[in-house]
């Protein structure tokens, strides 16, 4: 019985090296897709510049805009240390000031370790949204 010549693509598909190579390529593609997908879905910590000052200077700026204290809270915040961004959030006092007439606001956090106040956000066009009747706060 004569030996049948097969096309080269059939011969190559039977080659165990090619099967291994295909498996490696599939694994690498899968790893790349998973890596990219997880990066797209993961949030990242960014550095946002904040203005910090001692209490007297900070309160002068807030009083100059005639803003009044509306809220006190304790926030959980990531802070920097000498080693970089701390792994665990720390509890930092937060205050929200506003001037209802001029619609300005200032959000300030206090860092007790350094006795310093930092403006996290300030701005204009403050709009109070009243809850709908029946909605709970």
Query: Same domain, yes or no, for 35 and 71?
Result: no
Q: What's the pLDDT at 63?
A: 94
Write the CB contacts of 111 (distance below 8 Å, at least 6 apart in sequence).
52, 79, 92, 117, 118
Query: Domain for residue 71, yes or no?
Result: yes
Distance CA 29, CA 38 (A): 14
Query: Domain for residue 132, yes or no?
Result: no
Query: Domain for residue 85, yes or no?
Result: yes
Give per-residue pLDDT as tens, 39-57: 666 667 677 788 999 999 9
Q: What's the pLDDT at 83?
A: 80
Q: What is the mean pLDDT of residues 117-125?
A: 93
Query: Domain for residue 67, yes or no?
Result: yes
Query: Same domain, yes or no, for 29 and 60?
Result: no
Q: What is the mean pLDDT of residues 105-122?
A: 92
Report the number of distinct structural domains present in the chain.
2
Q: What's the pLDDT at 13?
A: 60
Q: What's the pLDDT at 85?
A: 77
Q: Return mean pLDDT, the chain.
A: 82
Query: Domain for residue 32, yes or no?
Result: yes
Query: Same domain, yes or no, for 55 and 86?
Result: yes
Query: Same domain, yes or no, for 22 and 78?
Result: no
Q: What is the mean pLDDT of residues 14-34?
A: 76
pTM of the model as a whole = 0.63
Q: What's the pLDDT at 38?
A: 63
Contact 57, 118 (CB under 8 A): no
Indicate the range of 11-15, 34-38, 83-87 predicted with least confidence.
11-15
Residue-number span of the structural domain to which 36 is assigned? 8-41
Query: Same domain, yes or no, for 116 and 86?
Result: yes
């Amino acid at each position: 019985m004569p030996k049948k010549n097969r096309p080269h693509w059939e011969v190559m598909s039977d080659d165990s090296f090619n099967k291994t190579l295909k498996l490696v390529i599939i694994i690498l593609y899968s790893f790349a897709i998973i890596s990219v997908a997880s990066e797209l879905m993961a949030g990242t910590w960014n550095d946002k510049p904040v203005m910090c000052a001692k209490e007297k200077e900070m309160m002068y700026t807030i009083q100059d805009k005639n803003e009044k204290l509306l809220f006190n809270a304790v926030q959980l915040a990531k802070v920097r240390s000498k080693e970089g961004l701390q792994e665990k959030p720390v509890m930092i006092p937060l205050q929200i000031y506003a001037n209802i007439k001029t619609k300005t606001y200032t959000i300030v956090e206090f860092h007790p370790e350094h006795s310093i106040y930092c403006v996290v956000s300030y701005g204009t066009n403050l709009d109070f949204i009243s809850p709908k009747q029946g909605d709970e706060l």
